[in-house]
């Protein structure tokens, strides 16, 4: 069952007559799934692509290998490139890309610990580049990231 904020976000997107698409790395399709379970899913959900592995980021979404090498697959720069490419693929009004570290074994450092999530959201009125560190187990981190995405979108819509 989607959270209240995801349901509210879905309703806000529907009220504008917009749609949404996702390029998901850290959330591995869970965000698309949560939005798919809202009452307005048929009106808003364009689709999503799970790009967990670097191969998909490079080969399907055309993120340059040099960008991934320079910044790591879990970075603001790669997340922005994913959003820009997914926006073209899905031709969506709102495009969300998300990367990050939900468990050890990735590109974590002291400056980028496990729980770090990168968001890049393209809306008709702005581009949102956000980084946040969440606490919890992998599922808790993913669910917090999904709710944060919904909040960022709602805040953006309210500024229009």
Report yes or no: 99 and 130 within 8 Å, Cβ to Cβ. no
Phi, psi of 45 (to 5 degrees): -80, 110
pLDDT tens digits, one per residue of 59-104: 999 999 999 999 999 999 999 999 999 999 999 999 999 999 999 9
| Cβ atoms 57, 24 nearer than 8 A | no
pTM comes to 0.97
What's the whole-number mean pLDDT along residues 39-62? 97
In percent, the amount of the chain with pLDDT more than 90 equals 96
pLDDT tens digits for range 98-132: 999 999 988 899 999 999 999 999 999 999 999 99
């Amino acid at each position: 069952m989607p959270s209240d904020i995801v349901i509210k976000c879905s309703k806000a997107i529907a009220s504008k007559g917009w749609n949404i698409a996702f390029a998901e790395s850290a959330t591995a399709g869970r965000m698309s799934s949560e939005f798919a379970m809202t009452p307005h899913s048929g009106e808003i959900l364009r689709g999503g692509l799970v790009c967990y592995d670097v191969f998909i980021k490079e080969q399907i979404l055309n993120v340059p290998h040099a960008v991934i090498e320079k910044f790591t697959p879990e970075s603001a720069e790669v997340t922005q490139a994913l959003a820009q490419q997914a926006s073209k693929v899905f031709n969506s009004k709102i495009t969300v890309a998300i990367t990050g570290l939900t468990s050890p074994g990735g590109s974590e450092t002291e400056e980028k610990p496990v729980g770090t999530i990168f968001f890049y959201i393209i809306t008709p009125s702005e581009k949102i580049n956000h980084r946040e560190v969440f606490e919890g187990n992998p599922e808790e981190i993913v669910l917090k990231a999904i709710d944060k995405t919904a909040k960022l979108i709602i805040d953006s819509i309210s500024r229009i």
